[in-house]
Amino acid sequence: MPGPLAGVKVIDLTAVLLGPFATQHLADMGADVIKVEPPEGDLLRLSGGSMGRDKSMGPIYMAANRNKRSLCLDLKKPRAVEVLKGLIKNADLFIHNSRPAAIERLGLGYDELKKVNPSIIYAYSLGYARKGPYGHKPAFDDLVQGVSGAASLQSRVDGEQPKFIPSLIADKTTGLHLCIAVLGALYHRKCTGEGQMIEVPMLETLASFWLTEHLFGETWTPGRGAMGYDRIINKYRHPFPTRDGYICALPYTDAHWVRFFEIVERPDLAKDPRFCDRTVRPKHFSELYQVLDSLMKHRSTQEWLDAFDEADIPAMPVNT
């Protein structure tokens, strides 16, 4: 069964993870994505390549490029650029994640391609907003985790040095936002017939992503408290150890907590002034989490899951 983007033709000049992650979602929805690579291939092909059938089939590359067609072009050669423009002439979307100066030197800037295809949607992602102070700088996931505040946010949990989240979260989050922006542009063109240029910078995307919950007390002007969602950055917030593993449990409502305290055989905690309702619990999560750590160890993970499921309390095991 064709997907919702069946008939949409995408010329994909993206590389590494951010761009390919975005275009893979378009391909999964039915778009005809033609991935264009240089003769040496996308750099991501070689990341972990020794695990694949050959060195050009790295695991991350394989996980971010399904459902695409492939084309090799050496864009240092004028003839290859002309071939690419020929493809763009009949495309709906041209997408890349190169720095603007480099792409414009190839004659593939928006103003140039608009002459080839006036209704083209031209989308690109870069590290930092083009008109901002860092617009000329290269970017990778580690750099953006640092400058967006993600690495320092990790240090607020345990008081230690800043550290990176063990995921290419800047690439993947920005890739999703790039995909969403493209979907909006496709709908706009369907309504108006007009193409447009889309810029999705990593830093600005990640800053917005973190601030959704961590702007917190600075949501208002003047501020009414510190930045940082207390429950999320609490150093005791972690899966609870059980007799044979770990479990994630999240009683969310007051009714959940009452049932939870009964199941862990501490109904008295429901009347404890520190934990009795959602207006006071956030101030005492450190104490509460430490109490729960000691209470969960005497049953197996499955025993807890069965009890929580019966009481309709959200819980899941920790898998490896």
Q: Work out the pLDDT band at 111, boundaries 50, 70, 90.
A: very high
Catalytic residues: 171
Cα(298)–Cα(303) distance, integer angstroms: 10
DSSP letter at 198 equals E
Pairing of strands 246-249, 315-317: antiparallel
What the chain holds in terms of domains, given with CATH numbers, is: 9-210 (3.40.50.10540), 240-317 (3.30.1540.10)
- What are the tokens at 253? 């409502």
Taking alpha carbons only, the member of 94, 131, 113 closest to residue 19 is 94
Least confident range of 93-107, 209-223, 248-262: 209-223
- C-alpha distance from residue 116 to each of 35, 86, 232 (Å): 19, 8, 50
- Nearest CA to 38 among 8, 81, 68? 81
Name the more confident of 20 and 156.
20
> Quick one: pLDDT at residue 228?
85
Task: State yes or no: pLDDT of 52 exceeds 70.
Answer: no
Cβ neighbours of residue 210 under 8 Å, at least 6 residues apart?
148, 149, 150, 153
Pairing of strands 315-317, 196-201: unpaired
Residue environment code for 22-60, b if the CB has 16+ CB neighbours within 10 A, otherwise e: bbbbbbebbbbbbbbbeeebbebbbeebeeeeeeeebeb
What predicted TM-score, i.e. pTM, was given to this entire model? 0.91
pLDDT in the model for residue 49: 64
Residue 250 contacts residue 315 (beta carbons within 8 Å): yes
Q: How far apart are CA 168 and CA 143, in angstroms?
A: 11
Residue 147, pLDDT above cutoff 90: yes
pLDDT (average), residues 1-12: 95
| Count of beta carbons in the 10 Å neighbourhood of residue 244 | 11
